[in-house]
């Protein structure tokens, strides 16, 4: 009897520790950006799922991108469709990650932010779209399930985000 | 009267619309095309044209003072000029941005920047942005390699300076150097275009 009690206690302790770790982990990752290579990003978008992705290419130094951000935030906050995933992919240099994290905190940015780690842009710009000249902001609407992809090379408002999303859904 | 005004208004808006759509169809000079010469003011107040360079070619680079990508290339731009000026391909830097509210990218700021960094080449201001539009430049930094043929400057390469925006040492394809290297031995350029991320040029009234 005392033995089984001990086992139960052990289980509870383990559970508590696990939950604590989870909470701590969440607290640490929230508001933190991560480095991502273009091929990792592609892999994520190509995962077998019903997910539809909206990838916004931006940077903290890009004026028109910052002007567009509130619309992106509003879209993100209003979005109730769990299969629609919005990602912010920044072209800030990887060594500026702290600056980007501070920016995320200051602006209370909710979507997940990645910093692109690739240095050869010529190699991946065409993989996103032959039509993309490399100007940001640019937004990539990806529905891999239906093999639909659209790249829009201009700042978008909420209505436009919804419109392009519907085009690929 | 009202009708005439309305028609006139409609006509002008149509013309404006048309000229805009024509503009967007012409993204700038094509490879192999002759570039129109320009007259732009340098930081010392002198007017610089391609003809005034008296060279076999030029590396025209649209760049600016605050863009992190332009900054990352500053020393590489200086090195390009150092390496290729004596070979007939000097750097001609052009700041295409409309001047910001706090004087960003103004001629005065360009002067300070050029002196601080030790630019040994012209740093021109494209006040009217006509040259920028003619080249079809959209981002800083963007480079154009020109070679003089029969008195005309012909576009041979357009795009990024190299394939690594963060580190000159890690660049594996130095597009501008490759292009000039080929031109210097009388070959045609293999890689004539490349794409890159950069800071969108700030156009007036946009």
pLDDT digits (tens, 9 = 90+) for A90-102: 999 999 999 999 9
- In angstroms, what separates the C-alpha of A6 from chain B's closest C-alpha? 57
pLDDT at B102: 87
Q: Tell me, what's the pLDDT at B27?
A: 73
**Chain B positions in Cβ-Cβ contact with residue A95 (cut-off 8 Å):** 166
List the single residue in B with minimal CA-CA distance to A64.
Answer: B200
Predicted confidence at residue A123, as pLDDT, reads: 87
Work out the mean pLDDT of chain A and round it to a whole number: 88
- Helices and strands: H and E segment counts in chain A: 6, 6
User: Which of A34, A38, A27 has its CA nearest to residue A101?
Assistant: A34
Please report the pLDDT score of residue A29 as a whole number: 53
The mean predicted confidence, pLDDT, of chain B is: 90
Q: Is pLDDT at A113 greater than 60 in this prediction? A: yes
Given a cut of 50, the residues of chain B with pLDDT beneath it are 12-26
**Which residue among B68, B170, B195 sits closest to A125, beta carbon to beta carbon?**
B195
Is residue A23 scored above 60 in pLDDT? Answer: no
Q: Region A130-158: what's the mean pLDDT?
A: 94
Q: Which of A62, A91, A122 sits opposite B195 (nearest CB)?
A: A122
8 A C-beta contact, residue B121 and residue B89: no
Crossing angle of helices A38-46 and A121-128, in 10° steps, is 20
- The CA distance from A111 to B101, in Å, is 31
A158-168 helix and A63-78 helix, angle to the nearest 10 degrees: 70
pTM of the model: 0.82
Is B33 in a helix, a strand, or coil? Answer: coil
């Amino acid at each position: 009897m005392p033995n089984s009690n001990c086992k139960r206690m052990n289980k509870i302790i383990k559970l508590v520790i696990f939950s604590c770790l989870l909470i701590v982990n969440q607290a640490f990752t929230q508001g933190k950006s991560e480095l991502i290579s273009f091929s990792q990003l592609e892999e994520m978008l190509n995962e077998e799922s019903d997910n539809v992705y909206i990838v916004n290419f931006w940077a903290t130094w890009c004026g028109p991108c910052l002007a567009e951000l509130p619309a992106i935030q509003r879209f993100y906050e209003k979005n109730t469709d769990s299969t629609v995933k919005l990602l912010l992919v920044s072209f800030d240099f990887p060594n500026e990650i702290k600056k980007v994290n501070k920016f995320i905190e200051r602006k209370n940015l909710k979507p997940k932010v990645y910093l692109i780690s690739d240095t050869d842009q010529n190699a991946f710009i065409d993989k996103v779209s032959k039509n993309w000249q490399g100007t940001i902001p640019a937004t990539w609407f990806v529905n891999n399930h239906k093999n639909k992809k659209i790249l829009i090379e201009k700042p978008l408002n909420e209505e436009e985000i919804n419109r392009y999303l519907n085009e690929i859904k | 009267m009202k009708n005439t005004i309305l028609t006139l208004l409609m006509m002008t808006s149509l013309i404006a619309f048309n000229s805009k759509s024509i503009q967007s169809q012409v993204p700038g000079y094509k490879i192999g095309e002759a570039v129109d010469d320009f007259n732009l003011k340098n930081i010392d107040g002198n007017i610089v044209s391609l003809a005034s360079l008296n060279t076999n070619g030029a590396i025209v680079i649209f760049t600016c003072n605050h863009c992190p990508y332009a900054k990352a290339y500053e020393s590489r731009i200086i090195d390009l000029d150092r390496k290729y000026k004596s070979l007939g391909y000097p750097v001609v830097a052009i700041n295409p941005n409309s001047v910001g509210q706090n004087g960003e990218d103004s001629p005065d700021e360009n002067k300070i920047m050029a002196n601080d960094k030790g630019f040994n080449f012209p740093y021109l201001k494209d006040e009217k942005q006509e040259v920028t539009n003619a080249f079809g430049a959209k981002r800083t930094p963007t480079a154009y390699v020109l070679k003089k043929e029969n008195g005309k400057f012909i576009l041979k390469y357009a795009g990024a300076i190299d394939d690594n925006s963060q580190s000159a040492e890690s660049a594996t394809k130095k597009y501008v150097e490759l292009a000039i290297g080929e031109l210097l031995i009388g070959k045609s350029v293999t890689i004539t275009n490349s794409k890159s991320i950069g800071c969108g040029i700030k156009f007036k009234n946009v």
